[in-house]
Amino acid sequence: MSAHRIVFANEKGGSGKSTTAVHTAISLAVAGKRVAAIDLDTRQRTLGRYLDNRAAYAKREGLSLVVPHHETYDATKSGPIEERLDALAAEADVLVIDTPGRDDDYVRAAISTADTLVTPINDSFVDLDLIGQVDADSFKVTRPSFYAELVWDARKARGKKDGATVDWVVLRNRLQHLEARNMRRVASALAELSKRVGFRTIPGLSERVIYRELFPKGLTLLDLGAMGQEAGMAHIAARQELRELIAGLQLPAVEAAAARIAEPA
């Protein structure tokens, strides 16, 4: 059986896409699933560098950290993108695919093979514009965006290929940093747009300093013990967010993953 493919895609940067992808990959690996990850962003390769940092830190410190098989796609060495994704999926239970913040053929190929498509957005009208245009006075959705149409075409292509459906999840990050009126307006626009375009919305990760501190060592919220830190209230709250995120994605082995996330570090 081929792996469940989770594609993280957003044409705008700064949405927490790669951070969410890494935490999802590690969460499912900790739950006992065979996880493979591939970074399609050949320039920034954030997911690839994150997991490289993790492997190097574990070796340097003699730690037994779960490190999924991962690679960064190289068109000159890896072969056709579809074949490379198929090869990775054949050896894993879950394949996590991180994409660049732009539209290219690799992104479209990844989306067209997705079982779950995750689009993280900051909870603002700037990021909402990625999915749909909103009237300046009424804050009502006027039409879906180019990106929404791109996803629609990719989902149709997937349906024609093997009859499967793509579960499109819009992840609302950094919720608590918005004033209440704007948050309600964004939520209302998303709810309206979700019915027209066909996605579901779940809460994501808050903006926390700890995420910037974790990257150099390749650690996640599941590895606080490896950092020599005791879990404070902020860390406990962050792990609860992660647990709810993983549960909301409705992925294979989600119950086991959520239970492990809830354990003390």
Q: What's the CATH number where 36 sits?
A: 3.40.50.300
| Other beta carbons within 10 Å of 77 | 8
147-199 confidence digits (pLDDT tens) = 898 888 888 888 888 888 889 999 988 665 556 777 788 888 888 888 888 89
Q: 124: domain range? A: 4-219
Could you tell me what percent of the chain has a pLDDT over 70?
A: 89
How far is Cα 17 from Cα 21, in angstroms, rounded to an integer? 6
Tell me whether residue 226 is in a domain.
Answer: no
Tell me whether residue 237 is in a domain.
Answer: no
35-51 confidence digits (pLDDT tens) = 999 999 988 999 999 99
Tell me whether residue 262 is in a domain.
Answer: no
Tell me whether residue 229 is in a domain.
Answer: no
Tell me whether residue 242 is in a domain.
Answer: no
Taking CA atoms, 156 is separated from 113, 170, 222, 224, in Å, by: 11, 18, 37, 42
5-27 confidence digits (pLDDT tens) = 999 999 877 788 999 999 999 99
Tell me whether residue 236 is in a domain.
Answer: no
Number of domains in the chain: 1
Helix (H) / strand (E) element for 245: namely helix 233-249
238-263 confidence digits (pLDDT tens) = 888 888 999 999 886 555 555 556 55
Q: What is the mean pLDDT of residues 120-148?
A: 84
Query: Token pair of 36, please?
Result: 């493979």
pTM, two decimals, is: 0.90
Among 96, 91, 115, 71, smallest CA distance to 20 is for: 96
Tell me whether residue 245 is in a domain.
Answer: no
Tell me whether residue 146 is in a domain.
Answer: yes
